[in-house]
Chains A and B, each alone.
Chain A
Amino acid sequence: MQSRHIEKGLYPPFIINALITAITLVFLALFLILPLVVIFGEAFREGISIWWGSIVEQEALSALRLTLLVAAIAVPFNLFFGIVASWALAKFDFWGRSFIITLIDLPFAVSPIVSGLIFVLLFGIHGWMGPWLVKNNIQIIFAVPGIVLATMFVTFPFVARELIPLMTEQGSEEEQAALTLGANGWQTFWKITLPNIKWGLLYGVILCNARAMGEFGAVSVVSGHIRGETNTLPLQAEILYNEYNFTAAFAVASLLAFLALITLALKFFVESRINKLETL
C-alpha cells in the first residue's frame, strides 16, 4: 500500500533523487556529524585516563554539581507551572486566553544574552533592586540564585507549550464524565488527565532539562565566572577552552554532548510512542 502511495504524484528521475540524497547526506555529515565526532575525538585524544582525570577534577566536579542543582530547581518549577497553566488554558475557554499563550512563548523570542541582561538590570548592583539587595546582604547576580532565575526564564515555555495544544485537543469530556460519576477534582486529575498527557509531559520535560543543563548565553551574563562556585558545565568548558586547555575543555564538552545524545534518543523513543498512540 505504502509503495503505491509513494508512486503517486511527482516521480523525479533517479538521477535527481540520487542528487538530493547525496546533497542531504554530505551536508548533514559536514555540518552536524563532523562537529559531534570532533568533540569526542578531541576529548579522548590523550587517552581515557586523561579524559577521566579532567572529569573528576575539582572544578569540573563542582561545575557538574551546580549544573545538576540548577536543573533540579528550574525543571520542577517549570514542570509544575506547565501543568497548572495548561489546565487553566486548555480546559477552560475565556477572554484573553490566546494572549496569555502568546506571553508564555515570549522567552523563546528573547535572545540568550538579553535573557541574562534583564536579570542584571533587576538585581545587579546598579540595577533596580541593587542597593536594597546590597544593604540586606543578598547576592543574586554573580551567584547561584541568578543562574537559577536566568535558567528558569529561558526554559519557561517548554512544558507548557507541549501540554497546552495536547490538552486542548483532548478536550474535557473524560474529566466531565469522571466528575459526574462522583470523583473529586484531584482524583479526576490523577486518574484521567495525567495518564492522558504523560507522554507529552515527558517530552516537554526532556527538552526543558536539556536546555536547563546546556544554557550558556543567559547564564554566562549572570554567573560572574567564579571558579568552583558559579561555573556550570558549559561555562567551565568555555574557561578551559579560553585557557588553551583544549583536552580538558573537550572532556567537559563531551559530557554535555553525551547528554544531548541521550536527549535525542529519549525524544526519539517518546515521539514513536506518541505516533503509535495517534495511529491507534
Chain B
Amino acid sequence: MKFKFKQYNVLPGFGLTLGYTLLYLGFIVLLPLAALTIKGSELGWAGFWHVIFDARVLASYKLTFGTAFIAAIINAFFGLIVAWFLVRIKFPGKRFIDSIIDLPFALPTAVTGIALTAVYSPNGWIGKPLLDAGIKVAFTPIGITIAMIFIGLPFVVRTVQPAIQELERELEEVALSLGASQWKTFTKVIFPMILPSLITGFALAFARAIGEYGSVVFIAGNMPMKTEIASLLIITKLEQYDYLGATAIALGMLLASFLLLFIINMLQSWSSNRLKGV
C-alpha cells in the first residue's frame, strides 16, 4: 500500500486550517515550553543536581509530593463514595449536588486560598474548634493537604462517575444469584471494574496538587524548610532573578511528576489487563 499523508476528502480548507493550527500552537505553546528545556540545558547535569539537592529545595519537594499524595489518597476514598452516591442513590436535588462538584474547577484558585484560610485559621469557623482540640491546621502541612483535597476532588469524581454508570448490572445480578454476598459482589466484581478509573482519577488529582499554587499559598504559611511548597520556591528564585535556579526546580518537578505518572500508568494498565484476562 502506498503511504499517503492524508486520506482523500472533498471538504475544503485542510491546508489553511492545519497551517494555522500548527502556527498558533507553535507560538503560544511549543516555543515557550522549548524555552524551559533549553534554559535547563544551560545548567548541565552538575548544575541541575546542585540546585535540586539544596536542602531547602529538597524539603519543598518532600512537602509538595507528600501532601499531594496524601490529598490524592483521601480524594480517591471520598471521591469514590461521592461518585457512587451520584450514580446509584436516589436523593432529592441530586442534580444540584452534581453540579456543585465542579466548583473547584470554576472557583479561581486565589479565592479558594483565602476562603480556606479564613475557614481554618486559628480564629476561623473550623480552625478555632480544631485548635481548641489541639490541632493546628492553617500554616501547617495539614492546611496544605486540605487545600489540595479541595482542588483535586472533581478529578476523582468525574473520572469514577462514568465508570460506575457503565457497570453492567447483569454482572452484579449473576454474582448475587450465584450466591455471593453483597460485600463480596462489591469487592470481587464491582471494585475491580472501577479500579482503573479510580487510579486515573487519583493520578489526575495527584498531578494537579503537585503543581497547585493559588489555593495552597495562603494557607501554607510559607516557612522555608517547613511549609514552603516547590511552586513558591520557583517564584522566590525568580524574584531574585535566579532564572536558572527557578528553571531547575521546575524541571525537577516535571521530571518527578512524569516518573510518578509513568508508574501510575503501569499500575493502571496492570489493573485493566487483569480485568481483560478474566
A5–B214 CA distance with the chains assembled, in angstroms = 44
Which residue, of B108, B182, B218, has the highest number of chain A Cβ atoms within 10 A? Answer: B108
Q: Is the CB of B82 within 8 A of A117?
A: no
Q: Is the CB of B89 within 8 A of A114?
A: no
Q: Is the CB of A42 within 8 A of B25?
A: no
User: Taking the complex as formed, is B44 at the interface, i.e. its CB lies under 8 A from any CB of chain A?
Assistant: no
Contact of A24 among B81, B150, B246 (CB under 8 A): B81
Q: Is the CB of B21 within 8 A of A264?
A: no
Within 8 A of A (CB), among B83-126: 84-86, 88-91, 95, 97, 99-112, 114-116, 118-119, 124-126
Contact of B108 among A153, A234, A249 (CB under 8 A): A234
The interface residues of chain B lying within 8 Å CB-to-CB of A31 are 146, 149-150, 153
Nearest CB in chain A to that of B17: its residue: A88
Nearest CB in chain B to that of A150: its residue: B32
**A10-B176 in contact given A118-B33, A120-B238, A267-B102 (Cβ < 8 Å):** yes
Stretch of B7-15, B54-62, B136-144, B263-271 lying at the A interface: B7-15
Q: Is the CB of B89 within 8 A of A39?
A: no
Within 8 A of B (CB), among A149-182: 149, 152-153, 156, 172, 175-176, 179-180
| Least CB distance, B194 to chain A, in whole angstroms | 12
Contact of A264 among B31, B88, B106, B238 (CB under 8 A): B106
Q: Is the CB of B17 within 8 A of A153?
A: no
Nearest CB in chain A to that of B30: its residue: A103
A51–B120 CA distance with the chains assembled, in angstroms = 23
Nearest CB in chain A to that of B31: its residue: A122
Q: Is the CB of A84 within 8 A of B12?
A: no
Nearest CB in chain A to that of B106: its residue: A260
**A27-B111 in contact given A113-B213, A114-B254, A221-B238 (Cβ < 8 Å):** no
Q: Is the CB of B114 within 8 A of A250?
A: yes
The interface residues of chain B lying within 8 Å CB-to-CB of A235 are 110
Q: Is the CB of A260 within 8 A of B173?
A: no
Q: Is the CB of A28 within 8 A of B231?
A: no
Contact of B21 among A100, A188, A213 (CB under 8 A): A100
Q: Is the interface of B mostly helix, strand, loop or mixed?
A: helix
A27–B105 CA distance with the chains assembled, in angstroms = 17
Contact of B110 among A24, A91, A234 (CB under 8 A): A234
The interface residues of chain B lying within 8 Å CB-to-CB of A92 are 6-7, 9, 11, 14, 18
Q: Is the CB of B25 within 8 A of A127?
A: no
Q: Is the CB of B35 within 8 A of A122?
A: yes
Contact of B11 among A28, A38, A91 (CB under 8 A): A91
Q: Is the CB of A237 within 8 A of B111?
A: yes
A111–B231 CA distance with the chains assembled, in angstroms = 9
User: Taking the complex as formed, is B36 at the interface, i.e. its CB lies under 8 A from any CB of chain A?
Assistant: yes
A213–B107 CA distance with the chains assembled, in angstroms = 10
Q: Is the CB of A111 within 8 A of B253?
A: yes
A238–B13 CA distance with the chains assembled, in angstroms = 46
Q: 0/1 per residue, A61-92, Cβ < 8 Å to B?
A: 00000000000000000000100110111011
A107–B218 CA distance with the chains assembled, in angstroms = 24
The interface residues of chain A lying within 8 Å CB-to-CB of B241 are 125-126
Q: Is the CB of A81 within 8 A of B6?
A: no
**Number of A-B contacts defined by CB within 8 Å:** 282
Within 8 A of A (CB), among B143-175: 146, 149-150, 153, 167, 169-170, 172-173
A31–B82 CA distance with the chains assembled, in angstroms = 12
A12–B101 CA distance with the chains assembled, in angstroms = 24
A135–B103 CA distance with the chains assembled, in angstroms = 45
The interface residues of chain A lying within 8 Å CB-to-CB of B21 are 81, 84-85, 88-89, 100
A41–B44 CA distance with the chains assembled, in angstroms = 52
The interface residues of chain A lying within 8 Å CB-to-CB of B207 are 109
Q: Is the CB of B118 within 8 A of A32?
A: no
Within 8 A of A (CB), among B217-254: 218, 231, 234-235, 238, 241, 243, 246-247, 250, 253-254
A267–B36 CA distance with the chains assembled, in angstroms = 35
User: Taking the complex as formed, is B272 at the interface, i.e. its CB lies under 8 A from any CB of chain A?
Assistant: no
User: Taking the complex as formed, is A21 at the interface, i.e. its CB lies under 8 A from any CB of chain B?
Assistant: yes
Additional 6 contacts, C-beta under 8 A, given A121-B35, A264-B100: A92-B6, A113-B234, A125-B241, A179-B11, A234-B214, A263-B106
Query: Taking beta carbons and an 8 Å cutoff, which residues of B are in contact with A?
Result: 5-7, 9-14, 17-18, 20-22, 24-25, 28-33, 35-36, 39, 78, 81-82, 84-86, 88-91, 95, 97, 99-112, 114-116, 118-119, 124-126, 146, 149-150, 153, 167, 169-170, 172-173, 176, 182, 185-186, 190, 207, 210-214, 218, 231, 234-235, 238, 241, 243, 246-247, 250, 253-254
| 16 pairs of residues in contact across A and B, judged by CB atoms under 8 Å | A13-B182, A20-B85, A24-B81, A32-B103, A38-B119, A87-B13, A92-B9, A92-B18, A103-B29, A111-B211, A111-B212, A126-B243, A127-B35, A127-B243, A216-B213, A250-B118
